[in-house]
Structure formats: C-alpha cells, structure tokens
Amino acid sequence: MRVSFLGLGVMGYPMAGHLVKAGIEVRVYNRTTSKAEQWAKEYAGQAFATVADCVKGADVVLVCVGNDDDVRSVTTSTSGAIANMKAGAILVDHTTTSANLAEELLEAASQAGLRFMDAPVSGGQAGAENGVLTVMCGGNQSDFDAMQIVFDAYAKSSVLMGNAGQGQRAKMVNQICIAGVLTGLSEGLLLAEKSGLDVHTLVDCLKNGAAGSWQMENRANTMAQDKFDFGFAIDWMIKDLGFCLEEAKQHDLKLPLTEASTEAYKALSAEGLGRMDTSVLLKAIRKQAES
C-alpha cells in the first residue's frame, strides 16, 4: 500500500511518521517545503514539492491541514489531489472542517472516480505523537474497513459515524462538550479560588464523581496555576466552534453556551492568547465574573 500525506503540522508530522514505523511506504507534501524535507530526513521517507507529484500512484491520500480553504487548495484545486490521484484510490481528510466541505469533497471525489472519507481526529498533539488519536469517520463501511490498517498506525480507536460529513459532525459535538465542561470548571474554580480551597485536593475529591471530566482531571490543576501555554490552541477552537454554529444555524438551532464560548475565545485571541490551551477560558470567565 502506498500512502501520500498532505500537511505536516503538529498533527500530520507525527501521524505520517507513525505510518513509516508501521512499515507503510509514505510520500509527503507540505506547503512549507523545508518541513517536508525535515520529515523525509527524520523518517527516511520521500518529500515532494507539489501535491500532484506527491499523490501520483498513491492508494491512499491523507490530508491534515488548517481550514476549509487549505483543504480545497490541496484537494479540489486544479493542482490538487483529486485531479491527480489514480482511479479507485481513497482520499481521507483528517482536517477538522465544516460538514458541508466533507459533502463537497465526496461529490468531487466521486465525479473523479475516487473514494472519500472525512475523518477528523481528537487527542491533540500528544495523541498524534503517541499514536493514540481517536478518528471520527464519515463514509461507507467498506472504505472504513479498508482504512483500519492505516488508522491503526496513529489511532487507538476509529469509529464510523455515518455518511460523509458525519465524522465532522461528531467532532463538532466533541468541541461543544469541551466548551461546556470548561465553562463549568472555570466558574467552579473561581469559586474555589475565592473560598481558599486547595484545587489539588478538590480535584482528587471530585474527579471520580458526577462532576468528573477529562478536563477536570487533566486541566484543573494547570488552570489553578495559570498555566496555559500548551495543549489545544484556542485559535483552532474558534474555528471548530464556528463550524458548530454554522451547522446549528442550518438546523435553526440556537446554542447559547457554544456562542458565549466562541465570543470568549475570540476576546482572548484578540488579547494575543490565540496559541494557549482551551482551558484558558478561565481567564475570560474570571474577567466576566469580577466585572
């Protein structure tokens, strides 16, 4: 099996590396060529300067880039993957995008005699580096089955959520849940702070009960220490929550918490905190609480 990987960011770089370690032949492309060359050196793989050259003859093309337009530029553009892949090959998009884009890509891939699956991941940079991501897939069962050998290289689990777009919609639910957990955790920690409770003791006490969450277990202590320079950047969260609100709008749904969180993250980003972890929401909620 020959796999081409487009996009070597903090996620794609280690994911492509895991494929090499799994014994798969990997060709890579990255917009900034030097990053692709660095990767090729580190993993004794092959880097290409254009998408067309990279995907030529590949059985599987994996994409992991930034936003919807970044995906379009490496897939549906005239110099993109779809125009250059061999018939019957599969295009898998690991980028978190709008569900509409997933449907657009399915359409374009089908017309070109290709297969397509949207497959956003969760688990963050650490999950990518340790090969323990979760993959949320939108596509058909046989393509999903065929992709297991690939996903297994960097994911601890992959789940088929439905047709194209449903992987993206599952990821949206994931992000909305995170926003809710962090909003409650922030208000709770503010009260704890004012009350003089020791957060470490508090978390130990609460984490296995009905208030428990991954964020409480993994972020409450760093939040109490005002430590946010790591983890999942809020600039990406703003993008992801934007997809949620766009999707909700298409269903005439109002999601006040998701909206409020998006606004809070935008305000934090405007203050220059765009690269901080999503748990930095505490700062916005503190400001609001004390105003």
Give the residues across from 157 on adjacent strands.
134
Active site residue 156: no
**Distance of closest approach, residue 10 Cβ to a second copy, in angstroms:** 15
Question: For 171-196, b where at least 16 C-beta lie within 10 A, e where not — what string?
Answer: bbebbbebbebbbbbbebbbebeeee
Among 86, 152, 184, 274, interactor with a second copy by CB under 8 A: 184
- Contacts with a second copy in 5-44 (CB under 8 A)? none
CA dist., res. 165 & res. 145, Å (int): 18
267 binds a second copy (CB under 8 A): no
Q: Indicate the Cα dihedral angle 256, 262, 267, 268, nearest 10°.
A: 130
# of chain residues touching a second copy (CB under 8 A): 72
**Distance of closest approach, residue 222 Cβ to a second copy, in angstroms:** 13
- Nearest partner of 157 among 175, 135, 126, 172, judged by Cα: 135
141 binds a second copy (CB under 8 A): no
162 binds a second copy (CB under 8 A): yes
Element (H, E) at 3: strand 2-6
Write down the catalytic residue from 41, 56, 156, 171: 171
Contacts of 28 (CB under 8 A, 6+ apart): 4, 5, 6, 8, 16, 36, 39, 40, 45, 46, 47, 48, 54
4 binds a second copy (CB under 8 A): no
Give the residues across from 61 on adjacent strands.
4, 91
What is 238-272 written as a DSSP string? HHHHHHHHHHHHHTT---HHHHHHHHHHHHHIIII
Among 49, 107, 130, 194, interactor with a second copy by CB under 8 A: 194
**Distance of closest approach, residue 157 Cβ to a second copy, in angstroms:** 7
1 binds a second copy (CB under 8 A): no
- Contacts with a second copy in 217-236 (CB under 8 A)? 218, 232
Among 136, 238, 268, 276, interactor with a second copy by CB under 8 A: 136
94 binds a second copy (CB under 8 A): no
Lookup: tokens for 134: 């979760």
- Nearest partner of 63 among 49, 45, 82, judged by Cα: 82
Among 40, 85, 101, 172, interactor with a second copy by CB under 8 A: 172
Among 30, 75, 96, 166, interactor with a second copy by CB under 8 A: 166
241 binds a second copy (CB under 8 A): no
102 binds a second copy (CB under 8 A): no
85 binds a second copy (CB under 8 A): no
251 binds a second copy (CB under 8 A): yes
252 binds a second copy (CB under 8 A): yes
Q: Which residues are catalytic?
A: 171
